[in-house]
Amino acid sequence: MRGTTVPPGTPCLPPRNGEPPMHRLETCDGMPFEMGTFDALGPLSHAPFPHRHTFHEIVYVTHGTGTHVVDMARWDLEPPHLCVIVPGQVHHWENVTDLDGLVLLFTDDFLVDHPADRDLLHKLSERPWLTLDPQAHQRMMPLLDEMHEEFKERTESVLRALLHVIVTRAGRLTEAAGPSPVRANAVAQKFMKLTAHTELWTVREYAEQIGVTPGYLTDVIRNATGRTPSQLIRETRIREAKRLLIRTDLTVRQISQRIGFTDSAYFCRFFRRETGDSPGDFREKHHDWPHQSIVNEKPAT
């Protein structure tokens, strides 16, 4: 991405179409990497307003209270935490006090020795907030301290190598940790309640309503039910479509719109694939009072 690294003091890119502002990485010597404490990096390292980056950010919180919001998912501070934010994600901090820790900022260019780390960072960003146990913290903190010391020497090759180790270990910690049982149970219960009484039809819409990321929601529901949110949402759509076909006089077009389809023809294909019947055939099999034809329905004008 062009313009990801800029001299200190360069104004932020102005927001477009109501989107949050886009921040670029400010560096003194052009090296696409910056690191420091929250205090050293300044107020933008814990900005209270929603914003995006053209660069990656790894946050390691060792102290403080408040809330970190990433893509509308809210994470309360109970350090130590590790957080990964990738370019384009929206985040901000709320009601933060006594915040301490280290922040790593770098562009894709800094991953030149280990390009696969980019995919791992994006995977980590789907579940960006990780609470470390004492043993994991004891392993991660010396590595970050060593990197902080190396940053003073500005030895780019060493910094790239240490970053690769940190990203790799973060990936292992995420796989080992899984969702918090208490939080996961609350998320799963809220998801199941929404599927019973909702007009949300995508995983992202459910995730935003609950206040988690789509990746986190998928992990929680798969662990709780053995199935994905997409599968359960699809079943909810079919169940609602059947109810509307049997109990209402709505046309296929109106029903398809009710359950989130903009194309009634696509809805018909979806319904047949899931049930083996067209909506018209299903209604005729289960409806025992006269109806206007939904097979020869005229397009709305």
Band the pLDDT of 171: cuts 50, 70, 90.
confident
Residue with tokens 């994006």: 122
Query: How large a percentage of the chain has pLDDT more than 70?
Result: 86
Instruction: Please give the CATH architecture assigned to the domain spanning 5-177.
Output: Sandwich (2.60)
Superfamily of domain 246-301: Homeodomain-like (1.10.10.60)
Question: Is there a contact between 150 and 162 (Cβ–Cβ < 8 Å)?
Answer: yes
Assess contact for 225 and 232: CB atoms under 8 A. Answer: yes
pLDDT digits (tens, 9 = 90+) for 73-110: 788 898 999 999 999 899 999 999 999 999 999 999 99
What pLDDT, on the 0 to 100 scale, is given for residue 65? 95
Q: Which two tokens stand for residue 287?
A: 């409806």
| Residue 254 pLDDT greater than 70, yes or no | yes
The model's pTM is 0.62
Structure tokens at 17: 């179409």
CA distance 200 to 191: 11
CA–CA gap between residue 103 and residue 3 (Å, rounded): 21
pLDDT tens, position by position, 181-203: 667 778 888 888 888 776 788 89
Written as six digits, the tokens of 203 are 């995983």
* Contacts of 98 by beta carbon, 8 Å cutoff, 6+ apart: 63, 64, 65
- Burial pattern 194-220, b for ≥16 Cβ within 10 A else e, equals bbeeeebbebebbbbebbbbbbbbbbb
